Structure 1
């Protein structure tokens, strides 16, 4: 294999994983943040509304 390809693949595997873990943590923190509870509760009741 080409050494440049191997280096690029290792970089992508390592930092790609770190990037996706960081994004997952940010999304998880957003979803579980206490001040967002009311907003998510209201959104959960949207299908039950009779407009």
Structure 2
């Protein structure tokens, strides 16, 4: 079986789409996982704790 350019491009586009969908789903699950909430809240508040006030 010979693989021509168009077949390879179609396979790469299809595989890339599914790969991107899976990775986006995993990132969303990681961000919304209940046990990660405290870690994200602490990271968000740590930036605000370092500020002394408005820049002058």
When the two structures are superposed, what TM-score results if normalisation uses the length of structure 2?
Answer: 0.79
Structure 1 residues 6 and 37: CA distance shift in structure 2, 3 A? same
Cα RMSD after superposing both structures = 1.6
Task: State yes or no: 1:33 paired with 2:14.
Answer: no
* Alignment size in residue pairs: 49
Flag the structure with higher helix content. 1
Residues 13-24 of structure 1 mapped to structure 2, 5 A cutoff: 13-24=13-24
When the two structures are superposed, what TM-score results if normalisation uses the length of structure 1?
Answer: 0.86
